[in-house]
Every structure is written in C-alpha cells, then in structure tokens.
Structure 1
C-alpha cells in the first residue's frame, strides 16, 4: 500500500465523535475509522510554541504558565501497571507519564505522538512506523526502536497477562515485532488488518511505550516520555505529578503539576467539585453532572459521543434462547428511548442490536430501527411454541439499574425476569474458559469500553469460538464477512461487509444493544481551559492552563 497524505487532511478526519468507558473502568481495550485516515502516513505533530486551545466553557487566549490542576477520581481497584491495568483511573495516571505511538483525539482522529508516520504494504499486513527524533525518557534515556519493540513484546507475552492481548488476538502475535534500525519499527501481522494503527494507539490503552528494562514497578519508579512526572502515589489518598521539564513537546505542559485525589464514591467526588476542592473529574457520571450543565455557574460539562456499550447477551446454545424467535421477542419488548433516558440520563445514541455504532463510518443506514412492539412479541413467542417466557438475568452492581429496567419493561409484555446480582469479582471471576458468569450464564449484562474500531467488538464478542463470545453464537457468513471487513482497503468494500455483519446480528439477536453510551467530563471552566471530555475518558492535561 503506497503512502497516503497526512492524517491531518480535513477529508480524512472522522466526521463525528466516538467512544467512552464505564465509571469504574474498562473491560478491555480495542481499536475504526475512515479508511483514508487509517492507512495514512501521518506528518509530524507541531511541537513549537503554540498556545493551548481554550476548552469548552473556558476563556480564550494564549496558555498561561503555572498552576496546579486538582482532579478527583475513584481509587484504582488493582495495581497501577501499564501492562495489566484495565480501570479508568489507572489508565489516566499512566497517561500523564507515558505515551503511545499514536494518540486519539476527542474526535478519534489518529494523532502522531511517538511515531510521526506509518504505512503498510499493499495487503495491509506489514506495517512500518517511523519514530519521532529527539525524544527521551524522563531519566534521560533516548527513545529508540528497541524500547518500542520491547514494549510490544512485553504485551504479547501471555505470561504477563496484559489486557492488550484482547486487542491483538488473531491480529498480532509473539515474534511479530522487529526493529530494523533505531528509528523504525515493523509489525508483521497474522492477517491483513487495515485498522492496525488503532491497535498501537491510545485505543489499546496498555500500549504505552516503556523503557526496555521496565520491571513492573511503575508507582515507585514511573519513567516515561510524557508531560508529567509521578512525584508520589498513595492508594489511600491519591497521586501527585509535577511538570516534566524535558518534555519533547515544549512548551507543554503549561501546568506546574496535577494533584489527583481518590474518592471512594461518586457523590463525594461530585461534592468536592461543587465545593471547589477539586477542579476536574477524571471520570464523570452523566446522571450526576448533567444537572450542573444546566445550572450555570463555575462548572462546565463537556460531552462527546461514544461507542461504549452495555450488551445484553443471550445464550444461543441453550433454552430458552436457542430459538431465534425468543431472542427477537426480547428485543422487541424493550423501549430503548426509555432505557437510554432512565439508565444513561439521555446521553448517547439508540442501539439496533448490532455492533456498528452510529458513529462508525461503515455503520449501515438502511436497517430499520427496532422499537417496542408488543404484538410482535406475542407473535414471535407463539411461533417459537413458548407459552410463557421466564429467564434469569445475571449482572454485577454497576448494571443494577439497567437490569431492573429490563425486568420492569419485560414484565409489561408478560416476560418474567429473575435478577441474579453478583459481586464484580464473582461476575468476572472463575475459569474464563468454562464457568465465569459473564460468559456462561443464560443471559447477562456486560459493559464494554468504547472502541474506535468495530472489529474490536466483533472479533472477541460474536465470531465463532471467540474468546469473549458469551452468547456462543456461531455464523460462518459473519465470520467470513468480519475477516473481509478487516482486510478491506476501501470504504466501499468495508461498507459492504459491515452490512452483512450488521444484518446477521440484527436478525439473529445473540446480543441486544439498546443504546450506545456518551461520555462527559465536568470541570471548573472559570479557572481552567483546555479540558475536554474524551470518548474513552482518556486524559490529556498537557494542553490545560489557567484561565
């Protein structure tokens, strides 16, 4: 594949904003977008003395040097380790210190970061990335291709149990990364994958570049190429960051530092923001902060669309959901607008029981939106020979409201739902190959973090025998279309395969997608500018400055 114009070209930008994540964290990383942007060899990002752009709700003007941004966030549930971290707080802490080959902006455009350009062979199977010159780690060690190779070798080694493996599954394996010289890294894939730049971007949030000798001691010896240095970390209180004086993208960062305080619950975090004890939330709850947006005053709430989604999974290999008509009946029993309003405070887009969010460029436009239809429910159950339908819905605490809403709505059409709430540890625990509840119960609710490519939903969730196929759905036509979608190098070819996949899922209903989430971030717009919501709740505080 020949080198194409830079990804900054207006025709190659995503047309809308994309993905988000859940309040407490991510389930797994992923990585889609317009073909032109994906296959582009991106030009260098400016590192001159440009002023920070004002954030929504903030004042305009050039960036002001100095000041400390005080942020609030939930405490990390596990160790803050770039290789294994999966929760939103850990990822945010890591992103202040370490960087990716490619960043994703709030529109999910690919932005050059430690790589300045990338290109592939004609088959989109061999990808070459050119590294930025003059970058050093915070201890003075120069960034080189050996460090990049070591970073990805570390992620690809199963013994390290990295969350990134879910993104690379079937695409990139051990031995697939090489460093022909100090400034070039080559990825040789298992199969053609035209979205590959997203898999080494922030869209695969574990893919930060670390030193070759990284030994897993991040909170005590956090060395990265990013805008801030980790000064102190305490799981019970929070973390303190100071400006990296040798950051390659001078004059950023504009702040002297960032102080992050951990709050055990959402209400305490919100009260701290309202009282002025903190200036920004790392992770904002739409239902809690939306009222602040309408109230005026100091608090600004920025909002972007997302592909974060909570999926209702139905076991297609066991009664009662081994009959397609029964699965369809449940889908037609739901009032999707009411679910979006009641569960997500109205933030997001309606879902239509397939995995192409409205913001994915290849999303089909001609599939009729499924809506509540009680007569259809009755007809489908009669066709299936089901006089009355009763099933158990398994979920963990963050999805309790969603589960209760489903139970209530299905009761209205004569379907009985028994609720089975498990602790999050129990819900995701057990043997992932044979008995973990989130993959082996009759019906369950699973929150998936937003991905910028639909393949990172399709491949693990609904392909035959996939690692996270909780529905046990198998459809060779979908499998073939998914492979063809990944290999496609034109928008037309990709759209054709997307329609096959979407129509199969919409017809067979192994999963129900009621709505796609949105993402918000609340902050004090009178004090700081340059703060934005991100579709995956990522943080980029390098452009933030005092008003």
Structure 2
C-alpha cells in the first residue's frame, strides 16, 4: 500500500496552470498516465481499465450540463487545443494557430491525416461545421462562450478561419475543453439526438455500448492521432460507487480505479490499496439564486458568507483533505487574488450584526436544496447558518434532477454544489456569473464585471497586464455576487494494479498507460 499526494504546481504563469498531462511519446512530451489492469466486471481479456468515476449527463459536448462531464467526454472526443501543466494552450488537433494584427481573426491549422473513430476524414470543413453547430444549435450550452464568433469557415483541408466580432484572445484556451471538442458532422447531420448515447468523435476510445445510469463500454480507437500511445484495449466506465462499497469493490477487483472521499482514505489504506491525492481546480460552492427570498436581500447573502466555518467543514466533512478557499481559483493560478485570501473568514458575530442592521429581528427562513450527495456538508452548513439566525430547511431532491431544477429551471434558492473549473478563465466567469451562465441560477450579472472581462479578453494572455486584469475581475465577482465559495476539493483515487496517475489538476489522460 502506498499513499501519495500529487501537488498542484504553484506557478505564477500569466496563463494559469490548468494541467493536462500527456504521454512522453507525444509531440508535447509531457507526463504519462498510470496503467490499468483488468477487473472482474471490466470486460474480457487483459489491458482493461475498470473506472468507477462518473457517467456523463450526455455524450454530446454541446448539450452537456455538468462541467465534470469533460472527464468522460475526453475519452471519446478530441479538442482543438490542449493545456499544458502551466495552463498554456498547446497543440492537439490543431498543430498551430495565429491571430491577425487586429486580434479579430484567428486561424487554426490542423494536423494532417486526422480521422474520426469511424475512419472518415477530420479536416477543416468538419471542424468548422462542428464549431458552427456548437454556437448556433438550439439548446447549446456552449454557445454563450462563442458569442464573439462572426463566422467560421474552412480554408483548404487544414486551416479553420474564425472571424470575430470583437478582439478575443481566449479562443486557444477555450477550445481546450468541451467547447472545442470536435463532433463528427456525419453523426449530427444524420441524427443529432443520437449523440446523447452514441458519441462520434476522434478521441482515444470509442463507445461500443452504453446503458444510461449503469455503465459504458469503450474500446481503443485505432484512428486516434496518437493511437500508438494507447495500450489499454478496453475501458469500462461506471458511476461513482456508494461509499459503503467502493473500497471493497476495488479490493475485490470489481474495479481497479475509483474515486473516494476523505472519509474513506483510512479504510482504503487498511485494505492495502494505493491512495493518491491529486490537487484539482474543483471548488465546493453554495450556489445562490439572488432573485428568490431570502437571498434577494444582500444582507442575508453577506451574513451567510461570514456564517460558515470552512475550517470545520474541512475537518468534519473532508477529514482534513482540501483547503479553505473564498474564490473560484486556487492559489498560484493566474486569476487568484491574494487580497481575497481570507475575505469571508468565519465571523458569526459579524453575520448576526449584518442581519440585525438589515432589520431581521427573527430567524430568516430559507430552503436549502440538497441532491443527497454531500449530506454531511449540507447538515453542518445548516447548523452554522442557524447559529447566526438563518433557519434553513433542507430539501432533498434526486441527484438526477439537480441540474434541471437548480440551473435550468432556476427554481431553487440555495444549493450545495461544486465548480470544476474551465480551460479559459473568462469562460469560468461566464459560467458562474454571466447573464446566461449555467451555474448562475438567477441569471443576474454586473456591468462592472462585464466591463472588466472585456479588458481581459482584449489582452493577449502573455501580456504583462493580463494577470492584474484577471485578478481584478476575481475581486469584483467574489465581492459582488452571491456565490459562496467554500473549499478546494482535491481528487482522491484508489488504485489496484494501476500505476500512479499524473499531476494534472484538469483531465485524466490515458496516453502511455501500461498494464502493471
């Protein structure tokens, strides 16, 4: 048994450090992933990885409603660009890109010889159609990130030319995630609805069968542009397992890679499993609908931010794993603002005074919605709010309805959730605070933040001014919006017969994986 901690590099790169570890044999020459061995439920033969992690809300990147879906979607799809461990945009499907002098046209040049998993050419025309669909299809959840695109067209077989309505230097970063994942036009032009269960991409694996809410079976994609780096022949993907059974599942060989919480670390170590803690961009957060009572009162929102003892949350809920945080970015990230390091430090007396000054002489009634996945955290926060005069009744809803009710119907006032980060920091702000942001339940924004983000977008990411502009946007957002950030949540994995995973706070990659 070994236990390792993989730290997030404290790099002050102007572009951040959202990591993406790739195989040493690839052109990017970055780190290789850990390997996988076969499990009893993981299909026949060797070289099978059984991964108890999560199933996506959909296999269509355009309508995916959870940020964490990107982990699963990356198995079947390739993005146009990728991110290195410092958060810089680096080549992936596109081997290079360039802006014009005005900053309003960017051309991405693809690698030659690319193919989708079905063997059809992945050329500039296909990429242009995929981008166009993402920005124009009804119901697209990535369209808000591409509002500044005026037109997209192929120029020859390899060049994708994007004309913008305004200067925007974020696109090479933006296209490293779901927004840049290329979907085969042959699939969405034939039956767009089928993509929900039948992904059509060019990633390292291809889905062979999918049972919703149960599991997905994938096989190695020989048309993946770095297929010689993939030694896993099959991958079985399962939802995150029940805390009561996940350790036993890995110990027995049912799975060989699984995600656990801090509460399960001791049991996993006692079972002789390898435990690895990987720092991530994931931050737990209270999402607040400021258009609903009582959170339409700014004093209630501010009191709530001071009422929560985040250190207690870390101790009781996270079993000491994770770090208190008051903003959407971790320390060291280009958008992290040092001035906000303890901006809402636990102060129950101040919380009580804020409520009293606002005329609240009796307990403020509220409804606290929970999907049941983080019940200990919800219950502890409920108790802390009650201590300062906010009487929150817990309403538990099915996890499968959480996104629909909270973020699409905007029908819940307060919920406990997490934010998985985004490849582009401007995109992160749009998702959290934008007028169309998925994780902005009230869909209310602020002109000061919008103006600041325009400055960020119009500044090249390698400019000396970029970091300061982005950190000022963080200050505006954290002190203006009701979102209440709580704690950085590292990824904790247990492994059996799987080598150590890379130090990547972003995607799990499988290039270079070998069977131990």
TM-score normalised according to structure 1 size: 0.77
Match of 1:164 in 2: 142
Q: 2:251 aligns with which of 274, 280, 285?
A: 274
Match of 1:34 in 2: 14
CA pair 449-88 structure 1, distance change in 2 beyond 3 A: closer
CA pair 124-342 structure 1, distance change in 2 beyond 3 A: farther
CA pair 302-335 structure 1, distance change in 2 beyond 3 A: closer
Match of 1:240 in 2: 217
8 Å contact from structure 2 (residues 33, 511) kept in 1: no
1:375-414 per-residue CA deviation (whole Å, 9 max, x = no partner) reads: 3223323332322341313323134333212111122234
CA drift at 1:249 = 2.0
CA pair 309-209 structure 1, distance change in 2 beyond 3 A: same
Structure 2 Cα separation of the partners of residues 116 and 542 of structure 1: 18
CA pair 501-229 structure 1, distance change in 2 beyond 3 A: closer
Match of 1:358 in 2: 331
Q: Does 1:495 align with 2:495?
A: no
CA drift at 1:511 = 2.1
Identify which range, 183-192 or 322-331, moves more after superposition: 322-331
Match of 1:367 in 2: 340
Q: Does 1:186 align with 2:183?
A: no
Structure 2 Cα separation of the partners of residues 546 and 426 of structure 1: 38
Listed as ranges, the matches of 1:24-173 within 5 Å are: 34-35=14-15, 47=26, 53=32, 55=34, 67-73=46-52, 76=55, 78-86=57-65, 91-104=70-83, 108-159=87-138, 161-168=139-146, 170-172=147-149
Match of 2:235 in 1: 258
Identify which range, 390-399 or 292-301, moves more after superposition: 292-301
Match of 2:4 in 1: none
Q: 2:183 aligns with which of 179, 202, 210?
A: 210
Structure 1 Cα separation of the partners of residues 438 and 196 of structure 2: 31
Match of 2:355 in 1: 381
Q: Does 1:407 align with 2:382?
A: yes
Match of 1:328 in 2: 302
Structure 2 Cα separation of the partners of residues 466 and 405 of structure 1: 28
8 Å contact from structure 1 (residues 350, 514) kept in 2: yes
Identify which range, 453-462 or 468-477, moves more after superposition: 468-477
Listed as ranges, the matches of 1:190-201 within 5 Å are: 190-201=165-176
CA RMSD of aligned residues (A): 3.9
Secondary structure at the aligned position of 1:514 is classed as strand
TM-score normalised according to structure 2 size: 0.81
8 Å contact from structure 2 (residues 49, 236) kept in 1: yes
CA pair 356-139 structure 1, distance change in 2 beyond 3 A: closer
Structure 1 Cα separation of the partners of residues 440 and 379 of structure 2: 24
8 Å contact from structure 1 (residues 461, 467) kept in 2: yes
Structure 2 Cα separation of the partners of residues 48 and 475 of structure 1: 42
Identify which range, 354-363 or 48-57, moves more after superposition: 48-57
CA drift at 1:179 = 0.9
Secondary structure at the aligned position of 1:529 is classed as coil
8 Å contact from structure 1 (residues 76, 89) kept in 2: no
CA drift at 1:36 = 9.1
8 Å contact from structure 1 (residues 351, 516) kept in 2: yes
Structure 2 Cα separation of the partners of residues 108 and 181 of structure 1: 30
CA pair 133-517 structure 1, distance change in 2 beyond 3 A: same
Listed as ranges, the matches of 1:282-297 within 5 Å are: 284-291=259-266, 294-295=269-270, 297=272
1:450-473 per-residue CA deviation (whole Å, 9 max, x = no partner) reads: 223332232243346766533565
8 Å contact from structure 1 (residues 355, 454) kept in 2: no
CA pair 149-407 structure 1, distance change in 2 beyond 3 A: same
8 Å contact from structure 2 (residues 422, 428) kept in 1: yes
CA drift at 1:109 = 4.6
CA pair 136-348 structure 1, distance change in 2 beyond 3 A: same
Q: Does 1:511 align with 2:475?
A: no
Structure 1 Cα separation of the partners of residues 280 and 9 of structure 2: 12
